[in-house]
Structure 1
Amino acid sequence: MAVINESHPEEFILLGFADRPWLELPLFIILLITYPMAMMGNIAIILVSKLDHRLHTPMYFFLTNLSFLDMCYTTSIVPQMLFNLGHSKIISYIGCVVQLYVFSIMGGTECLLLALMSFDRYVAICRPLHYTLIMNQRLCLLLVSTVWLGGMAYAFSEATLTLQLPLCGINKLDHLLCEIPVLIKTACGEKEANELALSVVCIFMLALPLCLILSSYARIGHTIITMKSSEGRKKAFGTCSSHLLVVFLFYGPAISMYLQPPSSISRDQPKFMALFYGVVTPTLNPFIYTLRNKDVKGALGKLVRGIFTSK
């Protein structure tokens, strides 16, 4: 039994699907398969983007950042999930805090990074003659640094505010991980201010970037339609459709989770949503980008051939 002090519990019990134990073994097996796939897929994207000089462009620079982010994202939750599903449902308070901050940083950064990637596609397709001038190396580094700092600012403000809430001796979380909305819902006392703060911040972190993405793609769509070259239209559509699919896979579950008061969230919604945007999306992203991208497929083939040739 966990020892509870007045400030916070020494450990949390992550209940997960304790009420439906038949789900735990299939989920354990799925995570055991998808986690290595996510890691290998994202490592492959990073390697080919660094090793193939043809991929030394802003688009692949942003894509390597997304792959690194997804690796950190899924690593922050899956090993702990596997431990909780296969051994014990306990996580230490420090472990919960670390997971909360890392998960929040990665989530906040991905929201902004996907918007930045849509801006890059807008400049590439709608302003092709000025692309190299606008998206120069210095600006790309500045934009990526701003995105990461924005994700950190979101995490440190919201996670720190959430950890100040009293738990009144409660050390059971009806979830698979430590996440801001669930901790707010579990807390006792006055938490309306936390709910309001989370909603306001998430409008800036989710709704505004999504509006930027949609407006960028509205302009991109108009430009693609007016293109005279069918090959150009096909290439532009292939690149943009991959990014749009990733956007909807991430933003859909995130909006349904974060843009409503935590008190109104249903019991199982956080578990399935966290699995989706914390596990499914990072696993699918490398495949979405490679299967529809001839440059990446060519670079991957070259890398694999090089490995076997050297052996």
Structure 2
Amino acid sequence: MSTLTEVVTTAPSRRRRPAADRLRGPAERVKAVGATALLWILVLAFGFPLLWFLLSSFKPAGDLFSYPLTLLPERWDFSGYATAWSSYDFAGYFLNTAFVAVTTTALTIVASACTGYALAKYDRWWLKAFFICILATTMLPTEVILSPTFLVIRDLGLYNSLWGLVIPSIITATGIFMFRQFFLTVPDSLVEAARIDGASELRIFARIMIPIARPIIITLAIFSFQWRWNDYIWPLIVLNDPGKFTLQIAIQSIVGAENVNWSVLLAASVISIIPLVIMYVVFQKYVMNADINAGLKE
């Protein structure tokens, strides 16, 4: 009898579940379609100017301002790329920019990881005060510290040197904050267990902390490389020798006082962003697919 009662009482609810699922299904599909449409609108809003910029680099200079405007070039012209690469020593500018970006990125990751680990795993009052001071620097505009930084670089004899671009950019509050917040999520029991086993602090940092912080390392590497590759103000202040110019200064030098060779300028701009696109395509999958909490369960 009790079994029959259970069947009778549960049967209506079982019959209602498919109906509820049918009601919920269309609503979820409408939301999915709306979200997809919004994403496509954003893609078009951000992608159309970039597409126009890319296709315009293949147009002759006379067609860039012809009316009516056209998206596709009527005649594909690659002379702007040839002129930009051969006439302006872009190979040298690439090497200078690559040296600054790669060296600064590597040193930034090392310095940020060491500082973040110390701030996260050592309980000292002065370290907390030091971290507050680091965060306070983010409230200062870059222009405020340009003058004192330049005086220090000049007194160190690094004016008109690529190392004058690298050294002031090694320490970043953003990188330190990212590593500190990540290392705070690592259980202290993991560190204590390693210490009990006789591991030194350097070994704990190099063999335990660094491997599990790979997502943060890759993310900061992408950000830092992008910052240094696109930097313009600081190289413009520090560098005086055209042979040491970075890409951004070289592109600015294409702009003449009276006229602008737009086809060469657009081609040079496209060339300058190619390494950033390649870096994003190669490393974005590691950031998107990384399990940040892997191995951190207590």
TM-score by length of 2: 0.31
Structure showing greater Rg: 2
